[in-house]
Chains A and B, each alone.
Chain A
């Protein structure tokens, strides 16, 4: 049995970032990736002959600044493409709202809807800019140890505290008040235009199993907008698709001295005398190591890769309750030419190109977004979903044959636990049951039989795609006629193909009770698992959003520190 210094499970972006910094700290990490390619969920695939697209998120939010410099990704072949337009929201009435990186430019566009809103937009952008330093600090901070805060924690918090005080009383009070609010309430405090409200509120629900009226969604909105600035969306696209970035990260990691093995699936984390001793691969091969860093999501790490005996029952129970049921699906289309959006006909050729290359937000009203969410609460996918579509082949022709295009669509809400469509057994209340234990247990069995389950997805994947295409077609009527092929990625696929437990793209729900010191669990938010030598570095740890790679960066810092100590 070979022996290694550190083993990193999974070659997702956070794993690669963590491995890079550990290598720089003088370690020799071995990264083990189950799939033939690196990148985890950040991959592009040729989903149809001649057509490539990023399977999951196609845009990259801002990388943690340190990462970009330290890993010199451009030198390793990552070529960032970025249009001026960040987000375009078409409205059924034939108008379209365009938001740019430059707040003033956005304000001009907003002015044609409402002068007041344009002014408010600038005000909000200013407020967010003043808070961005604080947000960055929070995102790149190791959550304090709530049981025995160290002097370092105190210092970090003090630092954040000072930045906080610098915001001034009014903004301090606003931030405290905003955090737990519903995104719908937040945007209503600034804007009157429904389309604008919905476009901004969407930052609070993107990727989450929550609607704009769910409390706490403003916290997500603020983290995203604080890190990326309004409108709070990642804008950079990498030539060749998401995996080009992953490959650049991998190159940097290897150059730093880490080793990457693909097609190497870890099936067990080995523990001896309460400490991690190594891992076992699906091939049966065992590799021993001083430390194991898991880029897999918390549930997979603790409930699948570890023998339960190594963890406290209370910890296991809490981990089972960690909410990681996703509500996101993806639809990839190959197009025989660009779809025509009537709402964009008035634009110049260049402008239209710019807009189509950005995020096309479909969700014209707060209520529209909330209704889309409602369906998912009862185990059904939205028939009128909230969508974010983009045509990456515009900025990056290498993705499709000449004249043809790919369209990637992020769809919400598609609940992981889906109700079966045949009404027969679904949620039928038993007729007058006898008041006996048997009756109750029968009723229970019946309920369980009809309970929503991911196993219902294969039967409804096409219905989902149809609903998505129909919805886009309301804004681009000629879209269906242009579709050559389509690929649907349901939450079940996300779980099976990309080993995201519950199909959650962020390794766990982004809600107040699962952020910061509570991500993944209160008392275990400092990247160290309750087993000596085992660490987490994936999105299931703080921050999980806002800055790409931040979880890996934060984790590597903690890991290096604790390895020095031991």
Chain B
């Protein structure tokens, strides 16, 4: 029996830390318990190979909420976002599509593929910004419960209805389509160039077990458009020192505000006394007590592992068990001796040597390619020719690799958590090779320049990072698991059936990505309740 706190936060991921920082700033006595030796959860930087620092899981940043950056004064705590310029898509026929932040350049490039698409592209960008403007307030809003007649909730719905009403007809139309359509169908209405549609639709499937032609993926497309850096929509970037630096910055902000952070302190159980959370027990057996417990880990760990079934209403448990994770992606991190040479655009040929390697490199040559990758995964196989989103952060941030050497970080989809009659243990090598082979088709020199690699299957992500079924968003971003349905209908307001136990992770609205919004919104709700005490 040691000293007691106002709040214990389970998990030192970016959401847990954000939650802690906001509570500490409100003068609460806060303790963060992190299972691992590093902070950050999935937003973590590790030196897996001596001299090479990998953003092991999450590798780019865009969704981090500006109000959090402001409130916590993250730049002063070392947060520095470096621009990620453009997306480069090599094609099997030797051509490529290279969109950059420079509008004129991108336009010239698009005209090369289709004059019509070049026109539509600007329109599309404007429309998406409008859509984001509409949806943005939702990201800063605790979801109302449509089944209750609570005046606050009704007011929120009225507010949303009025805003929708006030939209021009065109935007209403686009919005309902984004909420209901598949990314591919949605983009089909705007563009004709296959590779363009394929590359854009990719952001509609990330973190879901859906194909680009599955309804609902258009929303995820929007979700990723929401990214906001210095107010510019759809701007993605690196954080200097890898994504772990973001977690560390938030961690420092929390510490400065008085929060205490303990590493290598895995929580075994959440203590409850007559229906109220009263603290936690560490795996070491140590008991720590607090007024409230806020869990940033996913519902499976929180409710099914850290609590006993007897603590929870049966119906709630049923819903928690039903909540879908379905990890569908893996990660391959490579330490490189030199830069990969894409045969469709060798470094010396490109305008500014290797400039196209400074942005995202997307293996998404056609919509059918993307859909076929999904088809294989549906039946329990990893994609032989997967969708890959690559970045070489060491080009922008030299601190990540020794001089002249580089780190290549590859996000890979699809890799289903459940393989049909096979275990990931003995398929990991094969999976890594499939990825390397796929990239080599476009950059033949890759195999000769690899000096080290880390392959993360969904199983590894589950075991190492603690994300159930390896889902990077702590649960699929599918329509039935969004807003007031996330994670469980009726329990989307960060509270749980157990008094004084809260959720503050990506499994709550507005979901995954290095956004911090769940952590912040949960903190605001917690403070309301603590105030009421």
Contacts and interface: CB of A to CB of B under 8 A. Distances in A.
Interface of A: 146-147, 165, 169-170, 172-174, 176-182, 185, 189, 210, 213-216, 314, 318, 321, 323, 367, 370-371, 374, 377-378, 429-433, 435-437, 439-440, 443-444, 447, 511-513, 517-518, 521-523
A429 B93 contact: yes
A367 B379 contact: yes
Contacts of B368: 377-378
B26 interface: no
Contacts of B9: none
Nearest to A518: B176
Nearest to B380: A367
B172 interface: yes
Given A180-B478, A440-B112, A447-B194, A435 B173 contact: no
Interface string B380-408: 00000000000000000000000000000
B213 interface: yes
B213 A513 contact: no
A226 to B, nearest CB: 18
B11 interface: no
Contact of B479 (A180, A371, A432, A517): A180
Nearest to A428: B93
Contact of A522 (B173, B189, B379, B478): B173
Given A323-B185, A511-B181, 10 more contacts: A214-B215, A215-B478, A321-B188, A367-B379, A370-B378, A374-B375, A429-B92, A435-B96, A522-B172, A523-B172
A215 B111 contact: no
A518 B178 CA distance: 13
Interface residues of B, number: 47
Given A177-B485, A321-B189, A367-B379, A444 B176 contact: no
Contacts of B95: 433, 435, 439-440, 443
Contacts of A210: 215
B13 interface: no
Given A214-B215, A216-B215, A323-B185, A513 B177 contact: yes
Contacts of B147: 165, 169, 172-173, 176
Most buried by B among A214, A367, A517: A214
Contact of B93 (A147, A179, A430, A437): A430
Nearest to A320: B189
Contacts of B490: 169, 173
A182 B326 CA distance: 14
B285 to A, nearest CB: 39
B342 to A, nearest CB: 13
Given A185-B324, A314-B170, A513-B177, A444 B114 contact: yes
A512 B344 CA distance: 40
B358 to A, nearest CB: 20
A147 B378 contact: no
Contact of B180 (A173, A433, A518, A523): A518
A214 B169 contact: no
A530 to B, nearest CB: 11
Most buried by A among B164, B170, B173, B372: B173
Contacts of B93: 429-433, 443
Contact of A147 (B165, B192, B213): B165
Ranked 6 nearest A-B pairs via Cβ: A180-B479, A432-B94, A173-B489, A513-B180, A512-B180, A215-B216
A178 B216 CA distance: 13
B428 interface: no
B169 A523 contact: yes
A513 B322 CA distance: 26
Contacts of A367: 378-379
A204 B509 CA distance: 28
Contacts of B478: 180-181, 215
Interface in B163-218: 164-165, 169-170, 172-173, 176-177, 180-181, 185, 188-189, 192, 194, 210, 213-216
Contacts of A321: 188-189
Interface string B338-371: 0000001000000000000000000000001001
Given A147-B165, A513-B181, A437 B215 contact: no
Contact of A170 (B210, B315, B322, B344): B315
21 contacts: A173-B147, A177-B485, A213-B214, A215-B215, A216-B479, A370-B378, A377-B371, A378-B371, A431-B93, A432-B93, A433-B93, A435-B94, A435-B95, A437-B111, A439-B95, A440-B95, A444-B114, A444-B192, A513-B177, A521-B173, A523-B172
B437 interface: no
B125 interface: no
Given A176-B485, A215-B479, A435 B112 contact: yes
A477 to B, nearest CB: 28
B77 interface: no
Given A177-B485, A178-B480, A513-B215, A216 B322 contact: no
A180 B489 contact: no
B113 interface: yes
Nearest to A179: B480
B216 A216 contact: yes
Contacts of B452: none
A214 B378 CA distance: 11
Nearest to A181: B480
Contact of B215 (A370, A512, A518): A512
B152 interface: no
B484 to A, nearest CB: 8
Contacts of A169: 147, 490
Contacts of B216: 180, 215-216
B450 to A, nearest CB: 26
Nearest to A521: B173
Nearest to B349: A435
Contacts of A436: 112
Contacts of A430: 93
A173 B322 CA distance: 14
A225 B478 CA distance: 23
B275 interface: no
B146 interface: yes
Nearest to A379: B368
A146 B210 CA distance: 30
A237 to B, nearest CB: 33
A248 to B, nearest CB: 37
Nearest to A439: B95
A433 B213 CA distance: 28
Contacts of B92: 429
